[in-house]
Amino acid sequence: MTEKTAEPATTGPLTTGPLTTGPLTTRPFGMARLRRIADFVDWSPGAALRSTGPVSVADLRREARRRLPRMIFDHVDGGAGQETTLQANLTDLRRVKLRPQILTPVDDVDLTAAICGQSVSMPVLLGPTGLARMSHRDGELAAARAAARAGTVFAVSTASSYSLEEIAAAAPGPLWFQLYLGRDRQGVRDLVRRVREAGYTALILTIDVPTGGQRLRDLRNGLNIPPRVTLRQAAETLLHPGWLADILRDPPVGFANFRSETGVSLAQREYSERLSSPTATWDDLRQLRALWPGKLLVKGVLTPSAARLAVASGVDGLIVSNHGGRQLDGVESSIAALVAIRAAVGDTAELLLDGGIRSGVDVVKAMAAGARGVLIGRPWVWGLAARGQAGVELCLELLREDIERTMRLLGTPTISAIGSNHVVLPREWTEVMAGENEHG
């Protein structure tokens, strides 16, 4: 009689072998294994100090958040009202899908472009952002230098914390100037004269500020210009000694293109009263067109009807923008508005997109949807806050690398090759496009 072989113990259908019931055993931790571990570790002197550093705009935002006090970070990061438009700028860009063209040669990729007659190394411009010195002591001077090194345009804000003349003297690159139609029209004409004398090549008229938007984060934080720290904020501010040292060492931050009777930069209330434009009309735009001999763009266009009126007034370009979600909360995203406006005006004006750009993929999506280029605001200020001029340069370089990579994957060797056949838009946007084409 043969002896039966014991069946393996099982605990369920996933068991693949006999269970051990005795004490666990381990292999000896010999010299061979130690040598393998030693070979795996980088023992070089600088290895412990090396870091990959930021690899995206989101990484720069995180660095900026660590360096800035909350009230300053919130001023840069926040929007108006409930920030629904701010979020729509981001989420609607994600809704746009890319459609690659496979087996297209992309061994050489060219990012160069021409925007309103200005040659740039890539279709990304530094957009107008006020009071940059609140984020870093070099402020707009650092941005101008970074843009020049990158071969692109810096659009200087009327609300800059260095004067337009100081910025023009800081870097050799192309500069545009952003203008408001303030209450003091003679003051506006004087400012335009200064812009022309300083060598700026294009003027951007912002038309979406009849009054200031409600920035709830600023109100909750009690932000003033120049910044002042309350007793409630003192402890949190002391956790950011680098920022605090810069603010205390330099003159108070203000609106440097305007001076009060005492000769110091205007503070927030005086500036707001001077530059809000509740009485502005299309006639004012036409008068500005007659006054300014260079390229003229309008920023803040969101509807096809406004785009048509702007084109009829003689502008060279339209910047489709909702002010980064910082003015009227509840309007549609910049990218959705761009699609309808492109259908309305066709090729009669160059279109630029402002709002929501966080990556090179976003840039390519905007181009495929009809933009000639894009402006960035928060991303370059995050870079500035994190690392000064080097951070702005890094921001631009990260975008450049991502644009090039996206173009290779998409099958578009040049900027001009990017077109509507490379993008899939939400259905409701294409329905609006069809309606605008019929209207045109």
Is the dihedral angle over the CA atoms 263, 269, 273, 277 positive or is it negative? positive
pLDDT in tens, 31-59: 888 788 777 887 776 665 556 799 999 99
pLDDT of residue 13: 47
Listed range (3-17, 149-163, 352-366) with the worst mean pLDDT? 3-17
The stretch 283-299 carries a mean pLDDT of 96
Six-digit token string for 285: 């735009």
Active site residue 323: yes
Listed range (40-49, 182-191, 334-343, 382-391) with the worst mean pLDDT? 40-49
124: number of Cβ within 10 Å: 29
Q: Helix, strand, or coil here: 324?
A: helix
Pairing mode of beta strands 265-266, 255-259 = antiparallel
pLDDT of residue 12: 47
pLDDT of residue 397: 98
The stretch 126-143 carries a mean pLDDT of 97
Q: Answer yes or no: is pLDDT of 436 > 50.
A: yes
pLDDT in tens, 60-90: 999 999 999 999 999 999 999 999 999 999 9
Domain definitions of the chain by residue range: 64-96+113-396
Choose between 377 and 434: higher pLDDT. Answer: 377
pLDDT of residue 276: 73
Is the dihedral angle over the CA atoms 276, 278, 279, 283 positive or is it negative? positive
- For tokens 């975008």, what's the residue? 399
pLDDT in tens, 4-29: 444 554 444 444 444 445 555 556 66
Q: Is residue 60 classed exposed, middle or buried when 0-12, 13-18 and 19+ CB atoms within 10 A define those classes?
A: buried
pLDDT of residue 233: 80
Go through the chain and tell me how many residues it has. 440
> Catalytic pick from 136, 240, 323, 422?
323
As a whole-number percent, the residues of the chain with pLDDT over 90 amount to 70
Q: Answer yes or no: is pLDDT of 336 > 50.
A: yes
With cut-offs at 50, 70 and 90, classify the pLDDT of residue 183: confident
pTM over 0.85? The answer is yes
Rounded to whole angstroms, how far apart are CA atoms 181 and 282?
11
Q: Helix, strand, or coil here: 261?
A: coil
With cut-offs at 50, 70 and 90, classify the pLDDT of residue 434: low
H-helix segments, 98-215: 139-150, 164-170, 185-197
Q: Answer yes or no: is pLDDT of 262 > 60.
A: no
H-helix segments, 10-82: 31-40, 57-67, 70-77
pLDDT of residue 264: 52
Six-digit token string for 211: 């009054």
424 - beta bridge partners?
97
Residues near 71 by beta carbon (within 8 Å), at least 6 away in sequence: 218, 221, 222, 223, 227, 233
Rounded to whole angstroms, how far apart are CA atoms 195 and 190?
9
Contact 246, 137 (CB under 8 A): yes
The stretch 342-350 carries a mean pLDDT of 95
Phi, psi of 314 (to 5 degrees): 95, 20
Q: Answer yes or no: is pLDDT of 428 > 70.
A: yes
CA-nearest of 227, 215, 204, 214 to 157 is 204
With cut-offs at 50, 70 and 90, classify the pLDDT of residue 1: very low
Give, in words, the CATH class of 64-96+113-396.
alpha beta
HSE on the CB side for 163, CA within 13 Å?
Answer: 14
Q: Answer yes or no: is pLDDT of 358 > 80.
A: yes
Q: What is the mean pLDDT of the chain?
A: 89
pLDDT in tens, 188-199: 999 999 999 999
Q: How far from chain centre, in Å, is Cα 395?
A: 9
Q: Answer yes or no: is pLDDT of 205 > 70.
A: yes
As a whole-number percent, the residues of the chain with pLDDT over 70 amount to 86
pLDDT of residue 34: 78
Phi, psi of 300 (to 5 degrees): 115, 15
